[in-house]
Amino acid sequence: MEADNPARFAAVIRLIDTDLVIDFLRGYPPGLEYIKRSIGISIHPVTALEILSGVKDKRGMQVADAFVKSAHMVELNHADVTDAMAIVKGYRLRSGVGWADALVAATAIRLDATVVSRNRKHFDAIVGLRLETPY
């Protein structure tokens, strides 16, 4: 019976990619709107590191750190790294996917999560990955 199936009520994980977080932190209206209306923001550790690495001043670090702390961060495992290496080997030369996007994709596939990103070029071709382009 479908009503007794707990998987039916499981939350869908949406991994917000770095480009959306940057839009949000810079006050870009579509990024602000998307993040504000999203419930339970999840980010990848790669996204957290990219955001923190891109700040230019003390205030930017405080804002970025507050965002990272407010988001749910998914966990990596060894299989994600192994799968990311396979993604790089399979897609680097034809779509330019790098290690960071490959690691996000590998983790998302394992978690059955959707990656939310404007970066269609790197993510679109990856078999088994669900991608949402928010705007």
Cα distance from N-terminal residue to C-terminal residue, the chain = 37
Three-state secondary structure call for residue 76: coil
**Range of 55's domain?**
2-75+112-132
Q: What is the pLDDT of residue 124?
A: 93
Q: What is the pLDDT of residue 7?
A: 47
- How many domains are contained in the chain? 1
CATH number at residue 41: 3.40.50.1010
Residue pair 14/113 in contact (Cβ under 8 Å)? The answer is yes
pLDDT tens digit at each of 135 positions of the chain: 444 444 444 568 999 999 999 999 999 999 999 999 988 789 999 999 999 999 999 999 999 999 999 999 999 999 999 999 999 999 999 999 999 999 999 999 999 999 999 999 999 989 999 999 999
95 within a domain of the structure (yes/no)? no
Q: What is the pLDDT of residue 4?
A: 46
70 within a domain of the structure (yes/no)? yes
Alpha-carbon distances of 85 from 78, 97, 116, rounded to whole Å: 11, 11, 21
Q: What is the pLDDT of residue 10?
A: 53
Q: What is the pLDDT of residue 131?
A: 97
- Please report where in the chains the tokens 């579509």 appear, as a residue: 30
Helix spans in the chain (H): 18-25, 29-37, 45-53, 58-70, 78-95, 99-111, 120-123
81 within a domain of the structure (yes/no)? no
Backbone dihedral angles phi then psi of residue 83, each to the nearest 5 degrees: -65, -35
